[in-house]
A and B are shown apart, each in its own frame.
Chain A
Amino acid sequence: MLLLFALPLSMMAQTKSVSGIVKNSKGDPVPNVSVLVKGTEVGTSTTANGSFTVNAAPDATLLLTAVNFEPAEIKIGASSTYTVVLTDKQTLLTDVVVVGYGRSSRKNLSSAVATVRPEDLNKVVTGDVGQLLQGKVAGLNVTASGDPNKPAAVILRGASTLNSSQGPFYVIDGIPGADIATVAPDDIASIEILKDAAATAIYGNRAANGVIIVSTKKGRKGQAQVTYSGYLATEKVSNQLDMMNATELRSFVTKNNLAFTPADDKGANTNWQNEVEKSSAFSQNHNLSFSGGGEHGTYIASVNYLNKEGILQNSDLKRVIARLGIDQYALNDKVRFSLNVTNSNSNANDVPYRNTILLQSALYLPVSPIKNADGTYFENFVKSGYYNPVAMLNNSEMNTKTNLLIGSFNTQVKLPFGLTYDLNLSYQNSSYLFGSYLNKYFTSKYNSMYDNPDPGYAGHTLQTFGSNGQATRSSFTDRKKVLETFLTWDKKFGDFHTLNVVVGYSWQDNVIGDGFQATTSNFPVDNTSYNNLTLSSPSTYGSGLYFGGGNAYQHTRLISDFARLNYNFKDKYLLQGSIRRDGSSVFGENNQWGYFPAVSGAWRISQEDFTKNQNVFTDLKLRASYGVTGNQSGFNAYTAQFISGNLGTFYYNGNGLTPAYGPTQAANPDLQWEKTATTNIGLDFSVLNGRLGVSIDWYNKNTTGMIYGYKVDPILVPTGSITANGGSINNKGIELSLNATPVRSKDFSWNTTLNLTHNTNVITSLKNPLFVGGDSVSVSFPEGGGQSGSSLQLLKEGYPLGQFFTLEYAGKDHNGVSQFVDKNGALTVNPTRADYHYAGNAQPDLLLGWNNTLKYKNFDLNIFIRGVFGNKIFNATRADLFRPTTAMSSNILRDAANESPADGNAYKYSTRFIESGDYVRLDNATLGYNIKGINKYIKTLRLYTSVNNLFVITDFTGVDPEVNQGGIAPGVDYNNFYPKTRTFLFGVNVSF
């Protein structure tokens, strides 16, 4: 109170008029500089000639802020006129944007590029970049499952392909296609998300799903620095499926005149989900880096250790990443050599058939115990497909050791006439050593079980094992070699014309799947696990030695030429054109080369003279771009070719088992990349003296020639399908990013950023010269018991990807049996596929990410809220656990308590199980405390505590509304048993 009154009083007390001129370092006047009397609301801004006049108390301080300049303060003394020289802002990351084959200042960018700084990345225990970016960027739809080892599905600006790989293309420190798993989150300096074709087309036929450029930290000259950052985290299950407990299930069974069999009913009350989970899982992460530089070179080295326990029993991940980066200048600093080496080594333990174990933990009867009185595992094999999940878990093991090495050597030569020459060489070696062992108990008890596909996917397959233990061992190496070289010409003509030209060449050679896999069985003891395959005798019981064929060696090559031109007139009119010519060996021989052009322009309206006198906009820029990119991911070296394989045996000259070899894959010499043409119109402006920055983008993305395994008449192509280009898909959307600083004072500030994304997706055609007959493709077949052949979604012209197409639930008939609307609009209790109806779609109308950073003195609080709205989820998991008729032999959901066993249709996939996918999640809250200059040893210290997934507001009844939005069948909750967790994290960052 006192303060509030005191301020105006003191202002009124005594003021004088102060005037001045603001100039930049070159001595030119700077307009639009905000001049504020510190501690008051009084202020003005500079005119076109850089002058200002303001009334201030004699001892007041003036605060001068402007975009692109460091803030400055003037202590008012005796004089009433001042000249201030502002220094250019040094914050590299806000103003310099890393683009393909170069850098650009953000103000002179004509394309749509979003930058995420490391402090804005999600604080989660993960090595997955997708999860770090979740909710941070407009246009980026990231969905992560509870499973920590499954990378999040990342989709930029809507699904633009039917092909499985919809994820963006990663470029790490200039290395195209580098494995993102090699980067420790602590080493990230910035992430740029290249969204429109003007930004991505320079990456040609790999860019259609967007490009994400990751830059890692570098050493700085004269700044020797040692930094330690680390955290400890504990994770607890926040949500699991709401199955009945023993008491509830018993009363349901009794109420409905059913009965457990004596073999099952042992009077236990087992929570099987809890039994396969840990009560809490502990993680720790340590990162130590040291960097510095002398007169002619810089260096950085870091080592990162992550140890993460899985929330499921017997699962964990240990990972060490070591990185070294050296820059050395030579020849009078005209030449820079850079060597970067990163090695990521991880060791992951998991459980084989984890999804089956999770399924069993949901449906296993709570009235049965884990073990019998004699200490053996309880089992009841009278029921088919019914296995003790704890026994499965403890009688099998699985381990994957991964080593990822990336080395790059870059040379940059500064030549006369503003020319720069770059030569980048990189090598990536990824090796995977896998071992799994199913012990004698497992192979004797669970032979001929079904596996369970990953959530969202469908179609289980029968698993048969050899006797007496079965081991699988595989070792594969992938190698990528990249040579990229480009010449850059940066030239200013006169005072107004700036030209930047890049011409380059890229050569990439990939080898994938160099190695082997072997499965063998019949071991004398279980102890040797998968470590000594020579102990097995696979032929003794007729089960043989098998070699996996899925990862056959592939060799592919990509060659490209590219060029880009940027023209800048007076920082007002910006023009960019780029073209890339890409060749790839994976495509059909008739279509190996293609061109990917893009143009863009921007008009910085705020630089125009006619805006000099307004003081609404500090910055105003209009952008427009158009370009074509391609998609070649998801194809292997042989997709376009005739491949022959074993097609069985036939009788020839007395031998009835002569092998027959013939095409198992049809050739398509015309196969080529998908093309995505994107139009983007964007507007960037900042108002309120730069306190509110807004960026709006509208885009229209048309993908043509979608690659898909289309069904074909077998009389023409006997394999029945052919990978071909056909059909088209359209995405239109609007993205809005707001960055505001509502409060900024000496001790307290509040910064808030909001991003909103709206996208509409529609399949505009499914036609194909080869796929002439049908206009639709049924997808997502969960294969739930008794529902073989039921599909949940339909790909169809005029409908979006993720269109649900199923039975329409119409309540229950007079017998209490679920009924459905048939194709003629009448009701039926015996529906067929012909009675399917369109029933909403899986793609959200709106994505929201809202970040708040509050700083008070040395404290900071970050609150991040994420929301998804307008999408539907098909909860097939719920449908399959919604079987009142068999409640005496497998557990059901609490939700099914009021169902009657008379309803044999209760579980049928229908609109009854389509739910709203809307949710709002408090994704992260972090409270930090920072101290600077504690003593001469410690420069800065930061302590923080963070919680992830604090709460989620949703009507969705499954484990979590965040179901996979990627792939060809998004938004299906199937087999989604992986528990959702909440993480509490305590961390420290120190720099010395």
Chain B
Amino acid sequence: MKKLLNYIVFPAMLLFTLDSCHKLDVPITTQLTPDVFPQDSSQFISASGPVYVALRGNYATEYFFQQCYSTEEGIMAARGGNWYDGGQNKEMHYHSWTKDNGYVNGNWYWLSATIGVANQTLEILNTTQPEGAAKNTNLAEIKMVRAIAYFMFMDNYGNVPIDTAYGDFSPHANVPRSEVFNFIVNDIKSCLPYLSTTTGTATYGRPTLYTAQALLAKLYLNAEYYTGTPMYNECIVACDNVISSNKFNLASITDYLKMFYPSNGPTAPGSKDEFIFAIPFDATSTGFLGRSANYKARYDVPRSMGKVAAGAGYNYFNIPYTPGGPAGTLPEFYANFNDPNDIRNKQWLSGLQFLPDGVTPLNITTTKAGYDAVAFPGDNTPYTYQLNLTPNIVLRQSVPLFDCGNDEVAWNMGYRNIKFYPDATSTSRNQNNDIPVFRYSDIILMKAEAILRGGTPTLGHTALSLVNMLKAVRTTSAPLANVTLDDIFAERSREFAWEGWHRNDVIRFGKYENSWGFKTDSDPNKRIFPIPTSAFAVNPALTQNPGYN
């Protein structure tokens, strides 16, 4: 027995322990790993959410600034050093940006991360969601968000890398713009069979079949610029696919301004008719990429018309904060608003300001030096004046620092856009106004432009009839008798002011090399931005865009 114990049992015990117990798996109990998430239909919805949160990222802020301040549509000059921000706004205006510009870097990161999130989400859902119509639509919608991001990526940076699959970690070289163009068009086409034709609340904020057609129309309209090959007839077909669906209408003249109110959305006046695809903003929403918020009034409303101390202004918009208010338009752009009967004039704040009764002057009490430090330096005599927004931006303090000065005169420079009407219901600077990407009026004007640029008219439309169709619901003035490309450009400027499309329009109309404000640069390489420093740090396969080395 003892021998048995000594020579057999103990060694056997040892061998037993050596043989077994090499299992390392431990159950997942606290984290959302791929083993436990996503698994059911509501989880698939939650899992697709990051794509939409990502797209919201910079759309209302840095992306908009890059589109707006690089044209005559808008300018954000410094006020006593504030908003100089390392010269990024100045560079936008002068077309003197480098690969280190903050917007150039920030938007590249945002757009590549949005594409990355879409690829990753496609991978996750493709492996987890059961086959069927719901999966096909879900994946097609996510691909469409990726296509929208890729469109912005290609429109801004030209030659970008094409990455479509999560898990391939090898750096990809950027490819010529025409190749990116073809990739996007084909990708959209592959989504068409699966996209929803339902509009309204159920699909609001997600791409439908009409979003796809609108994006195709936008790509085809710009094809001549992007690839050298005109595709105006293809543009007209895509527009007709939207028009013939009869799902959209032009908003009436009484609904035009309401279309952009904080209350806009799938059932609100104006927006329910015209919005083909909008990015929904909710003042209490949260996000993970960029600011994920709509701060329009923060930049555009004069400081003295927000929440200010007694005597320093009047909280005209009843907002819970003092806006920074450095951004306005340039006279060159405001000149498009030359029809006094046009409802779209009302998206601007200009000249002398009154209280909501319309007659009492909006007075501000300050000191003489506080009003105009150049004319009255050090003069602390009290001074009261009626708020008067002036059209011109004057760099009184410093031309190199792009600075108007830090007095009331400087702060009141530039007419202000309040299309995305300041939100009195929000408790923060974040507004509830959804921002449209594609509106029905864009379809109408794109088709008109495509016909005028040589496309074949369809459905009995002419360029003139289409432009007048829009003017009929925007102005009480007489319709046009004939239409030129310049008329269309002016019409687009009025219709889409502050919606982030102006840079795209200015380039297509060949006006990007013109001079405006303080800008005289005419280098056509500036039509696309440089690939930023931050991108080279993580992808050595990239090649810089022409003109930036």
Do A661 and B49 touch across chains, with their CB atoms under 8 A apart?
yes
Interface magnitude class on chain A: 35 or more
Q: How large is the interface on B (under 10, 10 to 19, 20 to 34, 35 or more residues)?
A: 35 or more
Taking a contact as CB atoms under 8 Å apart, the answer to whether A641 and B33 are in contact is yes
Interface string of B33-74 (1 = CB under 8 A from A): 110011000010111111011101000000000000000000
* A641 and B28 alpha carbons, distance in the complex (Å): 11
How far does the Cβ of B14 sit from chain A's closest Cβ, in whole Å? 6
Question: Which residues of A in the span 531-570 have a Cβ within 8 Å of any Cβ on B?
Answer: 552-557, 559, 561
Contact A660 B17 (CB under 8 A): no
Q: Taking the nearest CB of chain B, how far is it from the CB of A417, in angstroms? A: 9
Q: Which of chain A's residues have a CB closer than 8 A to the CB of B372?
A: none
Which of B21, B161, B169, B540 is the one whose CB lies under 8 Å from A717? Answer: B169
| CB atoms of B26 and A556 under 8 A apart | yes
* A427 touches B (CB below 8 Å): no
In the complex, what's the smallest C-beta–C-beta distance from B121 to chain A, in angstroms? 6
Which stretch (B76-84, B181-189, B198-206, B466-474) binds chain A? B198-206
Tell me whether B120 and A663 are in contact (CB under 8 A): yes
Which of A637, A659, A661, A770 touches B169 (beta carbons < 8 Å)? Answer: A770
B161 interface neighbour in A415, A642, A661, A715, Cβ under 8 Å? A715
Interface set, chain A 649-700, CB cutoff 8 A to B:
649-654, 656-663, 667
Contact B31 A552 (CB under 8 A): yes
* Residues in chain A near residue B43, CB distance under 8 A: 661
Question: Given the complex, which residues of B lie within 8 Å of A712, measured CB to CB?
Answer: 169, 538
B-chain residues with CB within 8 Å of residue A415 when the two chains form the complex: 6, 10
> Given that A645-B32, A714-B112, A715-B116 are contacting pairs, would A661 and B46 also be in contact in the complex, using a CB cutoff of 8 Å?
yes
* A213 contacts partner chain B, Cβ-Cβ < 8 Å: no
Question: Which A178-220 residues have a C-beta within 8 angstroms of B?
Answer: none
The answer to whether B49 and A660 touch across the interface, beta carbons within 8 angstroms, is yes
Query: Does residue A42 face the partner (Cβ distance < 8 Å to B)?
Result: no
Contact between A651 and B282, CB atoms less than 8 A apart? yes
Minimum CB–CB distance from B343 to chain A (whole Å) comes to 28
> DSSP majority for the A interface?
strand
Q: Restricting to B493-541, which residues have a CB under 8 Å from any CB of A? A: 535-540
B546 interface contact, C-beta 8 A:
no
Say which residue of B17, B113, B538 sits within 8 Å of A773 (CB atoms): B538
- Whether B280 sits at the interface, judged by CB under 8 Å, is yes
Q: Quick check: is A584 within 8 A (CB to CB) of the other chain?
A: yes
Residues of the B chain whose Cβ atoms lie less than 8 Å from the Cβ of A505? 17-18, 21
Q: Are A773 and B539 in contact (CB under 8 A)?
A: yes
Q: Please state if B282 and A647 are interface contacts (CB–CB under 8 Å).
A: no
Question: Which of chain B's residues 282-299 have a Cβ closer than 8 Å to chain A?
Answer: 282, 284-288, 292
Is A638 close to B, CB under 8 A?
yes
B337: chain A residues at CB < 8 Å are none
Chain A residue with the shortest CB-CB distance to B120: A718
B52–A650 contact, CB under 8 A? yes
- Docked Cα-Cα span, A638 to B18, in Å, equals 27
State in angstroms the CA–CA spacing of A654 and B56 once bound together: 17
A662: chain B residues within 8 A (beta carbon): 47, 49-50, 117, 120-121, 124
Contacting pair A485 B285 (CB below 8 A): no
- B448 → chain A closest CB, angstroms: 31
Q: Which of A645, A650, A716, A720 has the most CB of B within 10 A?
A: A650
Q: Does A774 contact B (CB under 8 A)?
A: yes
Verify if A902 is at the interface (C-beta below 8 Å from B): no
Contact of A650 among B25, B53, B171, B535 (CB under 8 A): B53
The CA of A311 and the CA of B266, in the complex, are separated in Å by 64
Contact A661 B26 (CB under 8 A): no
B45 with A658: CB separation less than 8 A: yes
A649 touches B53 (CB 8 A): yes
- Is B50 touching A657 in the complex (CB atoms < 8 A)? no
Residues on A with C-beta less than 8 A from B53 are: 647-650, 660
| Most interface-central of A416, A654, A769 (chain B CB within 10 A) | A654
Q: Across the interface, which residues of B come within 8 angstroms of A584, CB to CB?
A: 24
A659 touches B24 (CB 8 A): no
A642 adjacent to B34 (CB under 8 Å) = yes
CB of B180 within 8 Å of the partner chain: no
A796 CB, nearest partner CB in chain B, Å: 13
Contact status B22-A559, CB under 8 Å? yes
Q: How far is the CA of A770 from the CA of B539 in the complex (A)?
A: 9
A788 to B319, CA, bound (A): 31
Query: Do B539 and A718 touch across chains, with their CB atoms under 8 A apart?
Result: no
Q: Is B358 an interface residue (CB 8 A)?
A: no
The answer to whether the Cβ of B163 comes within 8 Å of any Cβ in the partner chain is: yes
> Is A615 at the interface (CB under 8 A from chain B)?
no
CB of A413 within 8 A of chain B? yes
B109 contacts the other chain (Cβ, under 8 Å)? yes
Smallest CB separation, B91 vs chain A (Å): 15
A412 to B536 alpha-carbon distance, docked (Å): 61
Cα(A553)–Cα(B120), bound, Å: 26
Residue pairs across A and B with Cβ atoms less than 8 A apart, 22 shown, are A485-B17, A555-B29, A557-B25, A559-B23, A559-B24, A638-B31, A641-B31, A642-B34, A648-B49, A648-B288, A648-B292, A650-B56, A650-B280, A652-B205, A657-B285, A660-B48, A661-B46, A662-B49, A713-B538, A715-B116, A718-B114, A772-B539
